[in-house]
Amino acid sequence: MRTFFYNLLIFLALIIFGELIFGYWFSKNNFGIYMNDERDKNWKTNSNFNGKKYKFFYKRNFYGFRGEDFDPKNVKIIFNGGSTGNQRFTPENKTIVGLLNKKFTSENIDIKIYNASTDGKSIKGIIYDFTHWFPKIDKLEPKFLILYLGINDRILSDDRDEFQFDLKIKKKKIDRFKDYVKNNSFIVRKYISTKNTYFPKNTSDYNFNSENLYDNFKYINYNTAKNLEKNYSKDDIKILAQLDNRLKSLKNIIKSKNIIPVIITQVTFEGLKDQRLFLINERLKKFSKNNNFSIIKLDEIILMELNDFYDEVHTTPQGSKKIADSIYPYLKNILLNQT
């Protein structure tokens, strides 16, 4: 019994010693309680968009970005937004970011965009990224920040689940403690890595049929939306004030980090039928002009059609390609002229 006890103590001591040496407990770049749900994902996924099936692995790497692992020092261009940028149910090479990278490669242009989008994120979440996420990644010094904005900032802060969508931490203290261990334990991270490699999670099949979405469909383009009578509600005024405050904070971060921003406006499946999205886009354009920031006015240059979306705001692979094709010439010009 005594021998067993001594062996157990030695075993525990070795585990503790190994954790102290190889774990992230005392690293200044450890993730703490943040981002655990966005790291080290490798999920088998089957998606069906309008009758076409896709089988792929949804991956988020060690650092929380969508896709394979990378060396942070190579990340010079970050794409950031919500689920419309993450595109959880779409193969990476069919996402907006994946298609843009494919275009750069096809033209032998040495540019790669890294996708930091996470579901539900608003500008407030992007601000938090520079406080709780990006500083945890050693040698991450991006030069460009591509911001795909508008849709998630239509919601008042009080009506959002800030913890889930923007802060990326759990509400309960016990869950935060678990995430702290998962983020910092060498053994746990090795277990997750091994599990992802040999026993990847098998998610449900996702069948997205947009047929009913387009009943009585009418697309409102920019010129039409611009000429529609505007009726500002109290919430509209609050939303725009909230947006201004967030943009001011984001501008301060961008300037302090010496990052070059590129803003891209958004549309829904009905274009700009949503007056609030139109107002937000216009405010983004004004903000960009006043601060001499580059902006790609997607809402003014694109015309989306049937089956480009599988719900009100998320694009099918067909719609993603249309967006990538539309913004690529503008984005290429911006990146090449400031590289």
Do residues 240 and 279 make contact, with C-beta atoms less than 8 angstroms apart? yes
**Tens of pLDDT, residues 40-95:** 999 999 999 999 999 999 999 999 999 999 999 999 999 999 999 999 999 999 99
The verdict on residue 243 lying in a domain is yes
pLDDT for res 18? 74
pLDDT for res 187? 92
Do residues 166 and 160 make contact, with C-beta atoms less than 8 angstroms apart? yes
The verdict on residue 110 lying in a domain is yes
pLDDT for res 27? 87
The verdict on residue 4 lying in a domain is no
pLDDT for res 29? 79
Q: Of 146, 151, 73, which Cα lies nearest the Cα of 115?
A: 146
Number of domains in the chain: 1
pLDDT for res 68? 96
Residues of the chain with pLDDT under 70: 4, 6-8, 11, 339
Its domain, for residue 318, covers 31-337
Pair type for strands 201-208 and 144-148? unpaired
The verdict on residue 15 lying in a domain is no
pLDDT for res 8? 67
Give the other-Cβ count within 10 Å of 312's Cβ: 13
The verdict on residue 7 lying in a domain is no
Whichever domain contains 206, its CATH number is 3.40.50.1110
pLDDT for res 209? 87
The verdict on residue 26 lying in a domain is no
pTM of the model: 0.95
Do residues 79 and 116 make contact, with C-beta atoms less than 8 angstroms apart? yes
Q: Of 94, 35, 43, 40, which Cα lies nearest the Cα of 206?
A: 43
Do residues 95 and 54 make contact, with C-beta atoms less than 8 angstroms apart? no
What does the alpha-carbon distance between residue 278 and residue 299 come to, in Å, rounded to a whole number?
8
**Tens of pLDDT, residues 187-211:** 999 999 999 999 999 999 999 988 8
The verdict on residue 8 lying in a domain is no
Query: Phi and psi of 81, rounded to 5°?
Result: 180, -160
What does the alpha-carbon distance between residue 109 and residue 234 come to, in Å, rounded to a whole number?
47
The verdict on residue 182 lying in a domain is yes
Beta bridge partners of 64: none
